[in-house]
Amino acid sequence: MRMRRVVPQIAVVAATAMLSTACLAASPSDTAGSGGGVGSGGTPPGDKQVEILFGFGGDQTRGFEAGFADFTKRTGITIKFSEASAFDTLIRTRVAGNSTPDIALFPQPGILLDIAKSGKLADMSKVVDLDKLKTTLVPGELQAATGSDGVVYGVPAAMNVKSLVFYDKAAFAAAGYTVPKTQDELTALTARIKASGTTPWCLGIESSSATGWPATDWIEDYVLRIGGPQIYDKWVKHQIPFNDPIVKQAGEAFQAMALADGNVLGGRAAVASTNFQTAGNPLFTPKPGCYLFKQGNFITQKGFFPDSVRATIDQTVGVFQFPGKTADDLPVLGGGDIAAAFNGADPDTRAVLDFMLSPQFNGGTAEGGWLSPHKTFDVNQYPDALTKQIAQIGYTASTFRFDGSDQMPGEVGSGTFWKEMTAWIAGSEDLDKALSNIDASWPANS
Amino acid sequence: MAKVLETLLAIVGGVGGALLLYYLLNKVAELLPARVEAGIKPYLYILPAVAAIGLFLIYPAIQTVVFSFANKTSTRFVGFGNYAGLLTSPGFQLTLINTVLWIVIVPTVTVAIGLGIAVLADRLAPRGEKIAKTLIFLPMAISGVGAVAIWKFIYFYAPPGQPQIGLQNAIATGLGFDPIAWLQIDTAKLNSLMLMIILIWAQAGFSMVLLSAAVKGVPEDTIEAARIDGCGERLVFFRIIVPQIRATIVTVFITVLISVMKTFDIVYVATNGGFGTNIVAVDFYNQLFTNGNAGYAAAIVVLLMIAVLPVMIYQVRQFRAQEAAR
C-alpha cells in the first residue's frame, strides 16, 4: 500500500525537475577546432543538409538560390539559405554562441580573418583544391582572405568591381567627350566639362549607418594608383602608417578631381548627405547634372539607377575603367563575397563548396547583377553588354586588389575610415587631421 | 502558416508549462509536513522568478563586469586597460558629453511638454481633450526606427537644384535659402538636438497621460480655496497643482531618463553616431559588433550600469516613501 503513494510522489518531483531544467538543456555544443584545422561547426556531417549564411538580399538572394537548383536535385543535398540583414552582427553572435552555419559568405575579409582567430574556420587548402582554383580566380581575392599565419580561410564565390566610372552614352557623345585612358586625360576631361558650365562629377557618400564608405573607395583607388600594389598592401595591413604621405597624396588627388569647387554637383557640402544609390541619377536627366559617376558595378541594380535607364541599359549607360597613370596601367579595386567553411570535414559542405566555388557556378547573373570571380566564366551568361564589359575589366586587370576598408579591422574599416572621411568631406576637419585620427584609431594587437 | 502555428504552440507551451510548473511545485510542497509546507510555500512560488532573474540578469551582469577587465576576445585579463583606453579617447569623451546632454535635456523637456499639455487639455471640452490627447499619444506606438524614418522626411537634404522632399529644407528653399544638411551640423550640437526632438516627440504622450491623470486627481477644493484666496492661474499651477503631483513628475522624469540612457535606435538609424552625435548605447553596439571588442563593450555597459544605479536607488526610495505616506 505504501508503494502506491511513493510512486506518484517521485513522479511529481521528477516532473518538476524536468520542467524547470528543460529550458536550460542546451544541445551539447562542439568544441572549437584548433587553428588551421577544418572546423567542426554547422550541421552534423553526412546529413545531406548544409546551411549557408550571407548578407545580401532581394534579387541577389533569389539569383543565388536559383544557382543551386540543379545541384540540389542532382545530389539530394538540402541547402538552408540564411539571409542575414545584419551579417556582421549575426555571424559574430553565432560564432560566440557556438551555433555556426556550415558556410558563411563574408563581404569583408577583415571580419573573416578576425573570426578565423577563434579557430573555428576551416583551412581552405584542406577543403577545396586551392591550386586548381588559383589558375582561374581573379588574383588578389584569395590574398585578402589569407591570415597572417599564411592560411587561406576563404575563397570568393562572387566578385564585384569598383574602379568604374559610369556615364550617359548619348550625353557624352553629344558633348563630344571621349573616354579618358589615363589620369591626366581624366583630369583634362574634368576641366573641359567644368569649362562648359556643367559640374563634371556626381558623388554621394550617404549610406545611413555606413555613411562614408564610397569615399574610402576613392582613396583606395588612388593609393593603388599613386603608391602601387605593394604600398597598398602595406597600408591595408598597417605596416605603414595610415597617414603616410602617399595616402595624403591620394586624398589630395581625390579632392582635386571630385571635390574642388565646381567639380561636383551640389558642391562639396552636399556630398556627405547625398545618398550613394541615387547620386548618379543626374547623369541621365535631359540636361545632365553631371557627366561622370564613379561607383561599383552593383549600382546598376534595381532601385539604384532609374528604371527607365535600366530598361535600355546597353543603349544608355556607358562605363570605363577608372584610369591609371598610363594607358597600360589598369589596376582594379574590387570586392566579393568570400566563402568560409565552419564545417570543412562534412562531405556535404565540401560538395557545396566545390560546386559554388567552381567557374561553372552561376550565382544569379540575370537577377542580381552577380559576377563570377573566375576568369574562365562564360561571359555570355551575363545579361547585357555593360555587365559583360564590367566583368572583363575585372578579369583583365593588371592588378586586382580587394577593397582596403573591408580588409582593415572593424574599428577602422567600418568605423573611423568612414566617419573621418565624411567629416573631412563635410568640411569639419582637414585631411591631415582626418588621416591621423584614423591612424590613431588602429587597434593595438591584443 | 507555420509561423502562426509555432507562435500558438509557444504560447500554449509557455503558459501551460508555467501553470504546470506551479501546480507541481505546489504538489511538492504538499508532500512535506504541514508546518514545513506553510513555511516553504511562498519561497517555492517565488523560486522560478528568482531563478530566472538570476540566470538571465544577475549572472550576465556579473559576467559583463568580469569581461570588462578582459581583452577584445575575453581571453586575457587587462586590468583597468579598457576603462583607461575609453576614458582617454576623445571620441568616447564626446560620446559621454552627448549622453549627458541627452539625459539632461530629454526628460526635462518631455516632462515640461507633457505637463503643459495635460494642464491645457484639462481645460478643453471632453471631446477636444480626447482628440488632442490621442494625437499627442499616437507617436508612443511608433518604434524608434519608424520615428526616425518619419523625421527623415522633415530633416531630409537633397543638393540644391534637386527636389527637396524634406519639410525643413522645402521651407528653407521656399524662402530663398540654400538647403541645409541638418543632421550634419554639430555647431551648438544642433544635430544632436534634432535627434533628441525625435525621442521627445515619441515620449511626450507617455508623460502627458500619467501627468494628466495626476492633474485630474488634484482635489478641486484645494484649487478653489486658492482661487477664493485670490491666487492667479499661474500661482494655482505652481503652488497648488505642481506640489500635489510632484511624485508623479519625479516618476515620469526618472522613467524617461532611464529610457534615454538606453536609447540606441534613433541615433543608430539616423547617423550611426557620425557627425559628433554618438551616444553610449550606439558606441557599445559598434564596439561589440563592428569592432569585435568585447572588452570595450563590456566596460561601456558597466559605466552605464554605474550611472543608472543611483537613479534606480532614488526611484525605489521615492516609491517606498510614497507607499509609506499612503
Helices B246-261 and B294-325, axial angle in degrees (round to 10): 170
Q: What is the pLDDT of residues A335-345, one digit of tens each?
A: 999 999 998 88
What pLDDT score does A7 carry?
57
What pLDDT score does A421 carry?
94
CA distance A265 to A201: 6
What pLDDT score does A11 carry?
62
Q: Does the structure show a pLDDT above 70 at A182? A: yes
Residues of A in contact with B273 (CB under 8 A): 419
Q: Which three cell numbers stand for residue B226?
A: 486658492
What is the pTM for the complete model shown?
Answer: 0.80
CA dihedral A60, A62, A64, A66 (to 10 degrees): -150
Nearest of A47, A35, A160 to residue A102 by alpha carbon: A47
SS (H, E, C) B152-192: HHHHCCCCCCCCCCCHHHHHHHHCCCCCCCHHHCCHHHHHH
Of the ranges A9-18, A132-141, A219-228, the best mean pLDDT one:
A219-228
A51: three-class secondary structure by DSSP: strand
Q: What is the pLDDT of residues B35-63, one digit of tens each?
A: 888 888 888 888 888 998 999 999 999 99
Paired residues of B70 in beta bridges? B77
What pLDDT score does A141 carry?
87
Q: Does the structure show a pLDDT above 90 at A242? A: yes
The H or E element that residue B251 is part of is: helix B246-261
Strands A103-106 and A49-54: parallel
Give the dihedral sign, CA B317/B318/B319/B322: positive
Q: What is the pLDDT of residues A108-143, one digit of tens each?
A: 999 999 899 888 999 999 999 999 999 999 988 889
- Mean pLDDT (whole number) for A145-162: 93
CA distance A282 to A355: 41
Q: Which three cell numbers stand for residue A439?
A: 591612424
Question: In this complex, do A411 and B159 lie within 8 Å of one another by their Cβ atoms?
Answer: no
Q: Does the structure show a pLDDT above 90 at A359? A: yes
Contacts of A117 (CB under 8 A, 6+ apart): A35, B73
CA distance B46 to A302: 56
Q: Does the structure show a pLDDT above 60 at A27? A: no
A445 interface with B at CB cutoff 8 Å? no
CA distance B97 to B262: 15
A402: three-class secondary structure by DSSP: strand
Q: Which three cell numbers stand for residue A250?
A: 591620394
What pLDDT score does B262 carry?
85
CA distance A117 to B64: 22
Residues of B in contact with A15 (CB under 8 A): 20, 24
Spans of chain B, pLDDT less than 70: 1, 326
Question: In this complex, do B181 and A273 lie within 8 Å of one another by their Cβ atoms?
Answer: yes
Question: In this complex, do A12 and B159 lie within 8 Å of one another by their Cβ atoms?
Answer: no
Q: Which three cell numbers stand for residue B282?
A: 550606439
DSSP calls for A52-96: EEES--HHHHHHHHHTTHHHHHHH--EEEEEE-TTHHHHHHHHHH
Rounded to the nearest 5 degrees, what angle is found at the Cα of A94, between the Cα atoms of A90 and A96?
120
Question: In this complex, do B28 and A12 lie within 8 Å of one another by their Cβ atoms?
Answer: yes
Higher-pLDDT residue of A425, B74: A425
Rounded to the nearest 5 degrees, what angle is found at the Cα of B160, between the Cα atoms of B158 and B165?
40
What is the separation of C-alpha A49 from the centre of its chain, rounded to a whole number of angstroms? Answer: 27
Q: What is the pLDDT of residues B80-89, one digit of tens each?
A: 999 998 999 8
CA distances for A443 relative to A235, B70, B98, angstroms:
14, 15, 24
Give the dihedral sign, CA B22/B25/B31/B32: negative
Nearest of A42, A34, A25, A35 to residue A98 by alpha carbon: A42
Nearest of A296, A292, A276 to residue A186 by alpha carbon: A292
Residues of A in contact with B72 (CB under 8 A): 443, 446
B262: three-class secondary structure by DSSP: coil
A269 near A427, Cβ under 8 Å? yes
CA distance A390 to A370: 11
A415 interface with B at CB cutoff 8 Å? yes
State the complex-level ipTM. Answer: 0.73
Task: Provide the chain A residues 249-268 that lie in CB contact (below 8 A) with chain B.
Answer: 265-267
